[in-house]
Amino acid sequence: MANPNFLVVAFPSQSHINPALQLTRRLLRTGASVTFTTTTSAHRRMRGFQASDRLTFATYSDGVEEGSKPSSNSLEHHMDETARRCSEALRQLIEASRDKGQSFTCIFYTAVAPWLADVAHCYDIPSVVLWIQPATLFEIYYYYSNGYVDNITNESNGPSSPTQLPGLPPLTGRDVPSFLSPGSPFGFLYTLIEKQIQVLKEDRRPRVLVNTFDALESEQLKAIDELELVAVGPLLPSFVGQDSSDTSLGGDLFQGSRDYIEWLDTKPEASVIYVSFGSISTLSKPQKEEMARGLLSTGRPFLWVIRKAGEEKQEESEDQLSCEEELLKQGMIVPWCSQVEVLSHPSIGCFVTHCGWNSTLESLLCGVPMVAFPLWADQLTNAMLIEDVWRVGVRVKGNEQGVVEGGELERCLELIMGGGERSEGMRGNARNLKDSAIEAAKEGGSADKNLKAFLEEIASS
């Protein structure tokens, strides 16, 4: 029988492309051929990833190269347009491979893209979602779309009366993804998730591949009987526990100066605070000023990734921090860095993170405790997991205006960096989870076993 031929479709953002590439890497390791597809503009940023006899890159335009750059208020329209273009590209790819006598065995796609399931269905090809967030989150959405709306969004879900959904940790109002809050401007994203869940329900055997690992969410992975969540993670780029002889797709999307690594090399072990808010989010000017105040008051060295709010030219005063000179005496500010390399550097003692799922997993894998500073969406749930379930970090509290003040940040940082029983407890938990993550990700570990069982099922059905 010919080797399987898979199609992997990644939504064009770094937090989708990274895990999708690592899934591709695992599929290639089984001897399969893979076609990886994303938009032309996203593919252009993926320099260093080479095609081979079993790996093909196929791209499609989402209009960005032709000048239709999405603004936040046209995001919904942009998503529709991406869906239309992506579906069309997928049809062409499927037909071309069929004409060559190399039909796809299965289509893997990063959530959320229910339209891709429709296309796959038309051609009678199995398809499966790669969920790039924790299992806990998928299940909150699943419960929400299955009659638990009131339990989840009940305003009285405070710390003393959290909602208890079967198989999940107790949830208060601040742990629930912000798309589900009444009046959220991003409610349309939940509509997509709901469609995705509907697609699953119509499946004879609903299954989702999840970028998590068995030891991390053992209860949550089994919470819902009628739904099989298959843990195939951690799917992370070029990390410490990986077999270094296997360099296929082990690259990093980062290209640029690495001066900060030399700077980290000069710092004592576990002494540096790393601060980053991911590839999409930026802080408001007042919040940046408070962050600066908090960092300065610790007196500790820090590496802070500050991204530009957009490519549009900003006023100088918008970008400039009032205490920039003092900041640069104590720490280093960079526009982007190779995050996994930073987190695995021995000098890093703590990560101030927006709790994006990739950042959270990367920190777990490197055994670095976190100050959880969630901004929106899934980050709120991830922060709860970090603080309450895994106990590997502390979550910040905002003031009445929602701003996290410098003093609060200093308090959280000192809880982690200042030694003491709680700090030691968090470091110990982080070390244990690091070991489990490496175990899950190694060749033949739980991620490989679970994926292999899934592939065998596909082949026999």
356 lies in the binding site for ligand UDP (CB under 6 A): yes
Please state, as a whole number, how many other Cβ atoms lie within 10 Å of the Cβ of residue 61. 13
**Shortest Cβ 260–ligand UDP spacing (Å):** 10
DSSP character string of 123-166: TT--EEEEE-S-HHHHHHHHHHTTT-HHHHH-TT--TTS-B--T
The single residue among 57, 123, 148, 254 that binds ligand UDP, judged by CB under 6 A, is: 254
Smallest separation, CB 134 to ligand UDP (Å): 11
| Residue 441 sits in the site that holds ligand UDP (CB under 6 A) | no
Judged by CB under 6 A, which of 104, 357, 373, 390 binds ligand UDP?
357
178 makes contact with ligand UDP (CB under 6 A): no
Among 35, 136, 339, 381, contact with ligand UDP (rule: CB under 6 A): 339
**379 three-state secondary structure:** helix
Q: Report the residue from 6, 7, 8, 18 that binds ligand UDP according to the rule CB under 6 A.
A: 18
Minimum distance from residue 25 beta carbon to ligand UDP (Å):
15
Q: Helix 187-201 to helix 135-144 angle, to the nearest 10 degrees?
A: 90
Q: Identify which of residues 158 and 256 has a Cβ nearer to ligand UDP in the complex.
A: 256
Query: Residue holding tokens 């290639």?
Result: 28
Q: Give φ, ψ of 320 to 5 degrees.
A: -70, 130
d(CA 327, CA 293): 9
Q: Report the nearest approach of ligand UDP to the CB of residue 53 (Å).
A: 28
Q: How far apart are CA 93 and CA 165, in angstroms?
A: 42
Say how far apart CA 154 and CA 157 lie, in whole Å.
6
Residues binding ligand UDP: number (CB under 6 A): 20
Using the rule CB under 6 A, which residue among 281, 282, 297, 330 binds ligand UDP? 281
Distance CA 457, CA 11 (A): 26
Assess 305 for contact with ligand UDP (CB under 6 A): yes
Q: Does 382 bind ligand UDP (CB under 6 A)?
A: no
Tell me how far, at minimum, the Cβ of 138 lies from ligand UDP, in Å: 15
Binding flag, residue 336, ligand UDP (CB under 6 A): yes
CB closer to ligand UDP out of 45 and 91? 45
Any idea which residue has 């993170």 for tokens? 353
Among residues 148, 174, 170, the alpha carbon closest in space to that of 161 is found at 170
Pairing relation of β-strands 5-9 and 106-110? parallel
In the complex with ligand UDP, which residue's Cβ is closer, 190 or 357?
357
Rounded-to-integer distance, Cα 229 and Cα 205, Å: 11
CB of 64 to ligand UDP, least distance (A): 17
Sole binder of ligand UDP in the list 134, 250, 278, 406 (CB under 6 A): 278
Question: Does residue 280 touch ligand UDP according to CB under 6 A?
Answer: yes
Q: Where are the alpha helices (DSSP H) in 202-315?
A: 218-221, 259-265, 285-298
287 touching ligand UDP, by CB under 6 A: no
As measured in angstroms, the least distance from the Cβ of 23 to ligand UDP is 14
Identity of the residue, 90 or 193, whose beta carbon is nearer to ligand UDP in the bound complex: 193
Which residue among 16, 43, 345, 354 is the active-site one? 16
Burial pattern 115-140, b for ≥16 Cβ within 10 A else e, equals: bbbebbeebebbbbbbbbbbbbbbbb
Distance (Å, whole) CA 49 – CA 216: 30
**Choices 3-11, 51-59, 200-208, 354-362 (CB under 6 A): range interacting with ligand UDP:** 354-362
Cβ neighbours of 77 (radius 10 Å)? 12
* Minimum separation from the CB atom of position 33 to ligand UDP (A): 26
Span of 46-54, 74-82, 290-298, 357-365 interacting with ligand UDP by CB under 6 A = 357-365
Rounded Cα distance, 78 and 333, in Å: 32
450 binds ligand UDP, rule: CB under 6 A: no
Helix 75-99, helix 114-122: angle, nearest 10: 20
β-partners of residue 130 are: 110, 209
**Binding span for ligand UDP by CB under 6 A among 12-20, 197-205, 210-218, 266-274:** 12-20
78 included as an active-site residue: no
Residues belonging to the active site = 16
Contacts with ligand UDP by CB under 6 A lie at 14-15, 18, 254, 276, 278-281, 305, 336-340, 356-359, 362
